[in-house]
Structure 1
Amino acid sequence: MAKSEPTYETHKPSNWWTRNWIEILTVFGGLITINLIFFAKAYTKTDTVNPETAGQLGDFVGGYIGTIFALISVVFLYSTLKNQREASQIEKFENKYFELIKMHRDNVAEIGIGEDFGKKIFVILIREFRSIEVITKEVAEKTKQNFTREQVFIVSYYALFFGVGPNSSRMLKEALKGYDKKFVDEFESSLNNDAAKEKTKKYRKFKFIPFEGHQSRLGHYFRHLYQTICYVDNQTIDIDKYEYVKTIRAQLTTHEQALLFINCLTPIGNIWWDKKLLVKYRFVQNIPFGFFDKGNEIDLTSYFPSDYFEWQERTTITKKEVDKTQPS
């Protein structure tokens, strides 16, 4: 997957002129029109004002100017209603937005494996993923498959997501149908081995039997998270989308962001890349340096702009501070 260009979401509020140009032009136009009366013959034909002509003009102007002020009143009424409508739209958006965040929190709290619930689950899932990753590499070497690091991640995540079992194995094999059949069969057999499951369970101190899949947990979790981000991203009202998504991102732990990144490497989560949601909103920027072993797992920085991650920002700031202390 190619490295993304730094196209982050930015909010540019409408300036004062853009928001009020109709009202401004109306007022100035009205003032100019009103003052045109002084070019009438009653004021310009002689050095003195003709009372009769001026009186007739005054009657005319009274009705004419009154109409102009009525027009101005309508314009400002429109402006007031427009502002009220915009405020109402933002309020309506925020009501649903905060409801979606609440639903996300509830979803996380309800996710459970064995005796564990909530955000701790994602730590356990990453541990299980890494156990599967070891098996993926072993079987790939055994069946002489030359996988890239990304392919190892994809295969391992499919196994984490679908698992093995009477129905799960069928779905896993379908997901891996583009890979060598000998590898897929050997891989499924290795995961479906009771001794291997027990060994991993004991080594990782799991309170559940590993390799049986988490489709029911992760599928719902990622679908709702995606819909929440899209709800903000699709808004046409004048809001700072990045700040709203940033609030959602703040709900995610490091392990949630890491698992989301892995999910997005597969066709299951590719739509996050297609819509540029991961990059535009820097949605996994809090994954710390070294979370994934660059030498043995995957180079996380190769998928994002050079200033994407939080730790890259700190490095840049530190470098600038050092440069300032150097003599010129």
Structure 2
Amino acid sequence: MSVGQIVALLVGGCAVLYLVNRAARKIFHALVQPKGGDSSTSLYILAITALTVALAVMVFGYLNFEKIENLGTFGDFVGGTINPFLTFLTFLGLIATIIIQQKANSAASEAATKAEIALADQIASQKRQSFENTLFAMLELHNTIVTQMDVHRKTMETLYGRDCFKHMTTQLQNHWKEASPKRPVNNPARINAAYKQFYEKWRKDLGHYFRYLYNLIRFIDNAGVSPRYMKLVRAQLSDYELVILFYNCLTPAGFKFKHYAEKYTLFDNLDSAILFSKTHRNGLFDESAFDESHRPIKVDDKGNVIPTSP
């Protein structure tokens, strides 16, 4: 055999192996990952191929073993030829089964993970919706408490709602001017004495107002939600409500409220010009009560802590 014939034989053999390998890969992929999700067509082709090979071997053996005394040899030939082929097909089917099972397990695991995430999102959404429904109901009741306030004056018209707080602010300022005028304007004792006299007169309205507002803010704080909800509360407070709240926080009764004022910057919208002294803006509260940038821990609108640079 010449070199050219050997090269041609090798090239032809490689071509046949390439075609067989390509066809086998198509059949295998069609079996383990069918386009329509159904492997019946691929299994049918595989079964027909196996049956064709078996019949071809038997016909070949029958044609070459005509005598009856050669039937034993014929049986050995058929068994020795077909059995390895069938064993290979069995092994191939086992591999295909394992791959299909792995894909099914992977798909089931992915579906379970998605279902778990969807359930967690649904629960979180329900909790948020329940919280928001309660919050908006509390805000509505808070506004009702404010609108039901009234101040009856002998020679002037009656005040209602938030207009009452401007009148109360004037009353509190008068008490502050009269209380220990020789003491420094920033003296806590002077402020506390003035507020105590003021509160005795307005306890009926302000007691209910402050208790409810405090519990509203504590409800948001305990929920651990985004600070944007606290901004809704801040938006409800008028200028003179903030003034009354400002001085209330400086008394023993309002000390707990001061903590929330500094934590959530409740006086962000407070106009310092309407305070009883310009110096009251400084020193009586931590700066975080007026400016969010001074909070010890900063969070975004989603409630995530913003890391601070070292």
Does TM-score exceed 0.5, indicating one fold?
A: yes
Cα drift, residue 234 of structure 1 = 1.1
1:286 to 1:133, Cα distance in 2 relative to 1, 3 A: same
Q: Distance in 1 between matches of 2:282 and 2:95?
A: 77
**What secondary structure, in the 3-state scheme, does the structure 2 residue paired with 1:270 have?**
helix
State the partner residue of 2:235. Answer: 250
Q: CA deviation at 1:70?
A: 1.8
Residue 210 of structure 2 corresponds to which residue in structure 1?
222
**Aligned to 1:265, what secondary structure does the other structure show?**
coil
Structure with the bigger percentage of helix: 2
Which is worse superposed, 55-64 or 264-273? Answer: 55-64
CA distance in 2 between counterparts of 1:124 and 1:293 reads: 14
Of 220, 225, 241, the match for 1:232: 220
2:290 to 308, 316, 326: 308
> Does 2:113 match 1:102?
no
Aligned-pair CA distance for 1:51: 3.7
Q: Tell me the CA shift for residue 157 of structure 1.
A: 0.5
Q: 1:58 aligns with which of 92, 96, 104?
A: 96
- 1:27-65 C-alpha deviation (Å, 9 max, x unpaired): xxxxxxx9xxxxxxxxxxxxxxx5432211112332343
One-letter amino acid of the counterpart of residue 232, structure 1:
I
Q: Structure 2 CA distance, aligned partners of 1:157 and 1:301? A: 19
Kept in 1, the 8 Å contact 2:147–2:160? The answer is yes
Amino acid aligned to 1:219: G
In 2, distance between residues paired with 1:146 and 1:277? 27
User: After superposition, what is the alpha-carbon deviation per residue over 1:132-156, rounded to whole angstroms, capped at 9, x for unaligned?
Assistant: 1222125xx5xxx889622111110
Report the Cα distance in structure 1 between the residues aligned to 2:257 and 2:134, rounded to whole angstroms: 22
Give percent identity, aligned residues only. 22
> What residue is the counterpart of 1:21 in the other structure?
none
C-alpha contact 1:132 1:156 (8 A) present in aligned 2: yes
User: Corresponding residue for 2:280?
Assistant: 299
What's the secondary structure of 1:61's corresponding residue?
helix
Q: Is the 8 A contact 1:287 1:309 kept in 2?
A: no
1:307–1:224 CA distance, 2 compared to 1 (3 A): closer
The match for 1:69 among 96, 99, 107 is: 107
* Equivalent residue, structure 2, for 1:319: none
Check conservation: 2:220, 2:230, Cα contact below 8 A. yes
| 1:120 equivalent in alignment to 2:163 | yes
Q: Where does the alignment leave 5 or more consecutive residues of structure 1 unmatched?
A: 1-33, 35-49, 163-212, 311-328
Q: Does 1:111 align with 2:149?
A: yes
Aligned residues of 2:265 and 2:288 also touching (Cα < 8 A)? no
Q: Corresponding residue for 2:175?
A: 132
- AA matched with 1:216: K
Q: Map 1:204-219 to 2 at 5 A.
A: 213-219=201-207
CA distance in 1, matches of 2:143, 2:288: 31
Find the aligned partners of 1:96 and 1:110 in 2 and give their Cα distance: 21
Q: C-alpha root-mean-square deviation of aligned residues, in Å?
A: 2.7
Give the Cα–Cα distance (whole angstroms) in 1 for the partners of residues 288 and 117 of structure 2. 44
The 1:229–1:265 alpha-carbon spacing in structure 2 relative to 1, beyond 3 Å, is same
Paired position in structure 2 for 1:154:
192
Between structure 1 and structure 2, the one with the greater Rg is 2
The match for 1:286 is 269
Q: Is the 8 A contact 1:122 1:256 kept in 2?
A: yes
Match of 1:88 in 2: 126
Report the residue type matching 2:220 in the other structure. Answer: V
* CA pair 306-65 structure 1, distance change in 2 beyond 3 A: closer
Please list every run of 5 or more consecutive structure 2 residues that lacks an aligned counterpart in the other structure: 1-31, 33-87, 153-157, 293-310
1:86, CA displacement in angstroms? 0.9
- The CA distance in 2 between the partners of 1:230 and 1:307, in whole Å, is 16
Higher relative contact order (CA 8 A, sep 6+): 1
Q: CA deviation at 1:309?
A: 5.1
Query: Matched residue pairs, number?
Result: 202
The answer for the alignment partner of 1:78 in structure 2 is 116
Give CA deviations for 1:203-229 in whole Å, capped at 9, x if unaligned: xxxxxxxxxx11111111011111111
Residues 1-20 of structure 1: per-residue CA shift (max 9 Å, x gap): xxxxxxxxxxxxxxxxxxxx
Which residue is 1:172 aligned to? none
Is the deviation greater in 70-79 or in 261-270? 70-79
**Residue type of the alignment partner of 2:266:** F
Distance change in 2, residues 1:78/1:309 (3 Å): closer
